[in-house]
Amino acid sequence: MDTILVVNAGSSRVDFQLFGIAPQRELKRLIKGQVDGIGTNPRLRAENADGTPLADEIYRGTHMPDVPAALHQAAAWLRDAQKISPIAVGHRVVHGGPDYSGPVMIDDAVLAKLARYEPLAPLHQPNNLAPILSIRSRFPDLPQVACFDTAFHRGHSAIADHYAIPEELYAEGVRRYGFHGLSYEFVASRLPQVAPDIAGGRVIVAHLGGGASMCALKAGRSIESTMGFTTLDGLPMATRPGHIDPGVLLYLLQRKRMSSSAVQKLLYTGCGLKGLSGISSDMRVLEASWDPRAALALDYFAYRVGQHAAMLAAALGGIDGFVFTAGIGEHSATMRARIGRYLEWLGVELDAAANAVPAGRISAAGSRVAVYVVPTDEELMLARHTLDLLVARLGQQIEKERIA
């Protein structure tokens, strides 16, 4: 069976999954794995589709000093231990800038453009591109596909897309992009099956995890997002502040005499739940804590989700459904309940018993707005896009041969 490898790389972790291509282009998940602790205490773990462990190996930090080395080790394990050589690799790339409104086959020109967006997603973009470069150096003929978190939002109206700044800055690419698009795209594709009552209507999807944002869907299409030019905007996150007055940044630069790199580090790694609580960036740790600072961080997070829901409801002209997804959205019943209280004025009423269950409809029978928990699957979305481009490329090759 031909296979597709999908890769989602961070600064100290590489997640990978392998999908088999069954008849009628059906994708079958075969292996799910990760390498974490890169550069310190690397560990490769993998399991098959039913959760049976396939690997759990620990390495010296010097054996995997960076993301390319970790991916190389994972590829070697797939090749040597599993006898698998994928026919293509799909990558999550956070920022596609103004150039890309859909997945693309990677070549030198594409890589050059994507490298320009590294300052807009400094935690993500360099690490997204590192495995692409590594694979190209070792296997230059292996097709690779870039799938963008910004692409799903590229159909926004000019009003939603602009900041109130001079037009020449917009022309340079300073605009509201939105992120987590692969997650929203997957949820939108699932709604007709799991929530047909709201799939064609006005839906707010809350992707709540270490990175958090919300998206307004109308008939399955993104019309507005809480994130903008970078992944700093919108909701508070594990270590990022979300919406903040630009004057605060001027204060840090001018009055506190912080360098731009110090401000960048603060905004990406020292704010959010971590900065507000002074305890942890992990929602589970905060929910288990009796410290009043943890309670403040939790209430702040829920309050801001409710506040941004109002903004998205205004963009939609009302809402028919609300969907929780991603790590916090799927697994924290207590946070869903906290958020639900801020959504009551919109017509949301949660069913406490249903909310304790990790998926499905969690709104009460009399709720004017249907509320669901829908698990996301960005990796499957990556595999779908990669397969679609492979098929399109094959069709183009056949057409060229026919003409010739």
Residues that are catalytic: 149
Q: What is the dihedral of CA 116, 118, 124, 126, to 10 degrees?
A: 80
Question: For tokens 């998940």, what's the residue?
Answer: 29
In single-letter form, the type of residue at position 381 comes to M
Give the full edge-to-edge strand order of the sheet including 360-361.
221-225, 212-218, 202-208, 321-325, 370-373, 360-361
Report the alpha-carbon distance of residue 45 to residue 199 in Å, rounded.
Answer: 36
DSSP track, 162-176: --SS-HHHHHTT-S-
Give the tokens for residue 324. 């929780």
- E strand or H helix at 206: strand 202-208
**Residue 35 bridge partners (DSSP):** 14, 44
4: phi > 0 → left, psi -120 to 50 → alpha, else beta; which? beta
Instruction: Give the separation between CA 375 and CA 324, rounded to whole angstroms.
Output: 8
User: Own/partner pairs for 40-44, CB < 8 Å, 24+ apart?
Assistant: 40/12, 42/70, 42/73, 44/70, 44/73, 44/74, 44/77
Specify the length of the chain in residues: 404
DSSP string covering 54-122, please?
A: EEEEE--GGGS-SHHHHHHHHHHHHHHTS----SEEEEEES--TTT-SS-EE--HHHHHHHHTTGGGST
- State the virtual CA torsion across 323, 243, 289, 282 in degrees, nearest 10: 70
- Euclidean distance between CA atoms 351 and 371, whole angstroms: 10
d(CA 158, CA 173): 13
Distance CA 5, CA 394 (A): 18
3-state DSSP assignment of residue 211: coil
